[in-house]
Structure 1
Amino acid sequence: MSESRAFDPAGVAFGIGLPLLSAATVLVTARLWRPRLPDALAIHWNAGGSADSFTATGSAAWTFVLIILLVGGGSSAVAALAQAMLMMRRTMLIVGSAVTGLTLALWFGLVAANLDRADPSDARLSTTSIVVGILVGGAVGVVGAALLRDHRERPSAADRPDARLPRGPVDLPIVARVGLGTGSTAVLVGVAALVTVGLCRMAGSWWLMAVFMPVSALVIGLLRFRVVVDESGLRVFNMGMCALGYGVDELEGARVTEVAPFRDFGGWGLRAKGRGNYGVVTETGPAVVFTAANGQRLTVTTGRAAEMAGALNALADRRHG
């Protein structure tokens, strides 16, 4: 298990280090290529592809630096906070890295369009840089997200669960898939694809499809969960990674309750209701509530709630026995 710490090394490297490096790259390239750039860079193009807005190289460079640091770095820096919810840190890192990648690639595309041009009005921006930036930035964010760890405190429970809590057969593993189903996923993707195609036709360019694909994959991934109860405890997987996990040695007790997502947690999906009270709430009905020795609670809505609670309490009994 991970040791308790305030900052996650991988989060610091990917969430803070990479945005700073990207911002420095913009300033360095602006200085190196300044002799080959016009006094004013073309920074905006109209629907016909002609440049219609210009600004000084230094001003353009610092604008890109601020976007990288404030938007990209501001989002991804959350990944460095080791005590924050792991899934939130992963999500913010992927989003922030995609923004940083897009902004950095757009800067290089802008410079390439203006390089060695006496008249910047002749510059033409290739949308390839936008596509490459989003895909590469998002991929780097996924790699960094996979390296993040939950460094919260994990004290062991002193006693076995209350005798009034349910016990059941320990027939493991118990696996339940919760969240967005296949049919709902198809409808969501279909509607989003139609909207994106319409926007592409209006813009006269298909680069928006490159934004649609990674964004759709991220949204769908955030709405689908796999819940596993085994000898190690209760774990919730999301996007192929463990988003939340509690060991049997931490269990003070597991119980079954009835949950309505919007009534009890104010929303649907992975939720936080106050400090240390987390929920994977995707349907109205039974839910297993795992109470840990550090005071945190995890509520998971599933039709197998009673089975999970009984197995977890029985496993904790064995440990104390």
Structure 2
Amino acid sequence: MNADIRRARRAFWWVGVIVPSAMIALSAVVVLAWLPEIPDPSAIHWGSDGVNGYGPRWIHLVILIGIGGGMVALFAFIALLAHKMPRGGGEPAPDGPQWSATARFLGAANLATAGLMSLTALVSVGVQRGLADAADAPDITAWVFLGFVVMIALGVLGWFLQPLFAPSAGPSDAPATPMPLADHERAVWIKSVTIARSGQIVLGVGVFISIAMAVLLLAQGIPAWWITAAVALLLVGAVVTTLSFRVRASTTGLQVRSAVGWPKIEIPATSISSARAIQIDPFAEFGGWGYRISADGRRGVVLRGGSALEVTRTDGRRFVVTVDDAETAAAVLATAARKEG
């Protein structure tokens, strides 16, 4: 581990783990001390006409610790441990710890989330202290807007409190050499790729937390349950459509299609300038798994680390898809591009 990575990880621990956890823990202690002083059921949602959602007292702690603490734990897990998990295709994890701008963003997001959740919990419980009926709780709209201001401010602060870190570029492979095919011969290469176990775990945890919170809110009759359910549904859709892809390289060009049919990416041979096999790290270079856009402008279907096919279009844009035997796929596309050129 070099000095830059050590410094970045140390800053992340303080900005993205220690301080956010302390904020949520201290807020939870205060909320716990105030709970006997508020009505039961208590107000948990406000609308234009005042309180319009109720729940048991303890739901405030569940929301604070479950959503706030859960998000902090999930983002910390992704940033600190995702690189240590095995890659897909049986490949071991890369040597040494990795880091990226995505980890820096997650640290800032943790600080921002903790600030918003802590302030919201303290305000929503604090305004009900001493009330006999939760319906008499004053409006907290102004506090909600303040909470978003605090969240943005803490996010910006958290970003700049962490050092800028750019992973060193690996060796650059030369473009693939076209296959020596006769005029009457054609080459077709097809492979399927599935998201790595590390990606499955991270995405699965995120979906589980969203579904669990939606079920909990629904069971308590909280009107806002449908918002969490909608988020969970979107996450499920995103996961299902990015779990597995079929990659096809032929004389017509490159086709990358999800196992469910969408998304589907096609690059015709006439638009291909070159193709090559490379090695990538999903988190450090693309910030995660799925259909991604990297900091250097590359787009791609990134399901695991290791072998990947990179196609450069005639207009300079680059597309990446992680897949085994990328060398052969690159040679097929190089042949197609030469014949069309």
Instruction: Tell me which interval the TM-score lies in, with the shorter structure as reference length.
Output: 0.3 to 0.5
Give TM-score, length-normalised by structure 2: 0.43
